[in-house]
Chains A and B, each alone.
Chain A
Amino acid sequence: MQLTQRSKSVDRSPMTFLESLYLWNIMKGMAITLRHLFKKKATIQYPEEKRPFSPIFRGLHVLNRDAEGRENCTACGLCAVACPAEAITMEAAERLPGEENLYREEKYAAKYEINMLRCIFCGLCEEACPKDAIYLSQTFAPANYGRKGFIYGKNELLIPHPINEREAYLKALGDRTPSARIQNQPNA
């Protein structure tokens, strides 16, 4: 029964002497491999060369600071609640007098950890945050030898100081702060 118009009957006649030497077919194959020899390779030399990401790529989290370098996070826990993978843990602490230049509000996150092995990079934490304190950057977690290395604390997550380390801050900020993203939307 013929199901499609594209079916081809297989020639099962015995090979002629020339065919049985395989030479012609081998040469055809060698022409194909030779063409591939000069083709442009799709390889991206990873550590030196990086793949361009789409503008809506969701990568590693960044804990944001305000313009004076104070941490935005108030440890309200909404991100942890929103997280479907339960990757976020935090401990809140009260700001002491004299720490006003470190934390923007009276309460702050003394410990803030994201388990990057649990995280599914959905960005719901970013949506849940009322303080613009967490957002997903355009980098991804580098390889590590142990699982412990994938639990990122404040050391890894916190964005560099905007005044003291201006260049590192701008690099980490990228163009993906929530405000920048709103500006990029065509209907905003």
Chain B
Amino acid sequence: MDFAAITLWFLLEKLILIAAIIGLSFFVAMYTTLAERKVAGWMQDRMGPNRAGPFGILQPLADGGKLFFKEEIIPVTSNRILFLLGPALAMIVALVTSTVIPWGAPVVTTTGTIALQVTDVDMGILIVFSVVSVGVYGIMIGGWASNNKFSLLAAIRGASQMVSYELPMSLALIAILFMTGSLKMSEIVLYQINHGWNIVYQPLGFLLFFICALAECNRTPFDLPEAENELNFGYHQEYSSMKLGFYLFAEYINMFVSSAVMATLFLGGYDIPFVNEAAWGLSPWVYSLLSFGVLMAKVSFLLFVFIWIRWTIPRFRYDQLMNLGWKKMIPLALFNMLLSAAILLWLKS
């Protein structure tokens, strides 16, 4: 990057964007908790929370307020520094992943172009993967520092699960990269706007990626690290008050970001399907806002599927999890990768 191009205006623009995206992440994560409880209720023929405000829309605030006022307990046998580092790391990592996602079409004004993306680095999607793989340290450190055998077991489970499912996830991603020919998130979206959504060409890839995303976010059926029945809530067992809140909240932010990544990689990002919205002649701000809304609609749908799956199926047994990861997902992902490569070569020759 050319450092001479960094002006005050550029810094201000990025700062505003970062603040907006962090705010958005928190807001969406807050309301995903409510959506989770609502959908859980409806699927179990209940109403879900509806007392705090109309339709329960103040429920997340009440939950957050409750967590803030809870007594904070740090076990004397814990490693204090690492104990504090765990939830902080989980939260930071969850927030950092959203930097490379294009949140909407760039605003093209007469004075210049404002990308609705904090940074559009060349290795875009790899940033997401590398940061997500740091995310496991939040669980590891939290579980280790708690000095509790349940937490430690859960942390080990979490680590091995993440390692196992990152492999098929990256293999599914490679097939996408064959097609788009770029790691840049903005170019992946542009490719899909021009050629159609990736999910059409890579249905198996999307399925594999989605399942791995469930595992990476520690969502049911892969919520082995926090298995209530055998591990007493796992790695955050010793955490209380807002530290616990950080862990739980980071999980929802992870869900949000991974939904956004999936929408960007497979569902055309901010592209409106079946129409050429660029030809409508909308003013740039309206157009960008519209495309942002479309992306959020896709993200909401994916979040709903996350929740839907959670309230449908029970947790896998640990050996089932490992068998599925290593013996089913990786061969399928390899097959998918080789098949896409072969077809692409055949088309090009």
Query: Which A positions have Cβ atoms within 8 angstroms of B?
Result: 17, 20-23, 26, 29-30, 32-34, 36-39, 41-43, 45
Known: A20-B328, A21-B328. A33 touches B46 (CB 8 A): no
Report, as a range, how many residues of chain B touch the other chain: 10 to 19
Segment of B158-166, B291-299, B309-317 in the binding face: B309-317
Question: Are the C-beta atoms of B45 and A42 separated by less than 8 Å?
Answer: yes
Spot the interface stretch: B36-44, B98-106, B183-191, B233-241: B36-44
Q: How far apart are A36's CB and chain B's nearest CB, in angstroms?
A: 5
Q: 15 new A-B pairs (CB below 8 Å) besides A20-B324, A36-B45, A41-B47?
A: A17-B328, A20-B323, A21-B328, A29-B312, A30-B308, A30-B309, A30-B312, A33-B43, A33-B311, A33-B312, A36-B42, A36-B43, A38-B42, A39-B45, A41-B42
Contacts A/B (CB < 8 Å), 10 sampled: A20-B324, A20-B328, A21-B328, A26-B309, A30-B309, A33-B308, A36-B43, A37-B43, A38-B42, A43-B46
Residues of B that sit less than 8 Å from A by CB: 39, 42-47, 50, 207, 308-309, 311-313, 323-324, 328
| Nearest CB in chain B: distance from A161 CB, A | 36
Q: What residue of chain A has the Cβ atom nearest to residue B42's Cβ?
A: A37
For chain A, what secondary structure do more than half of its interface residues adopt (helix, strand, loop), or is it mixed? helix
Give complex CA distance A13, B318 in Å. Answer: 22
Q: Which of A21, A33, A36, A41 has most chain B Cβ within 10 Å?
A: A33
State in angstroms the CA–CA spacing of A37 and B39 once bound together.
7
Closest to B332 in A: A21
Contact A29 B39 (CB under 8 A): no
User: B39 — which chain A residues lie within 8 A by C-beta?
Assistant: 37
Contacts A30-B308, A33-B312: A43 and B328 contacting too (C-beta < 8 A)? Answer: no
Q: Which residue of A lies closest to B50 (CB)?
A: A45
Q: Which of A26, A42, A45 meets B312, CB within 8 Å?
A: A26
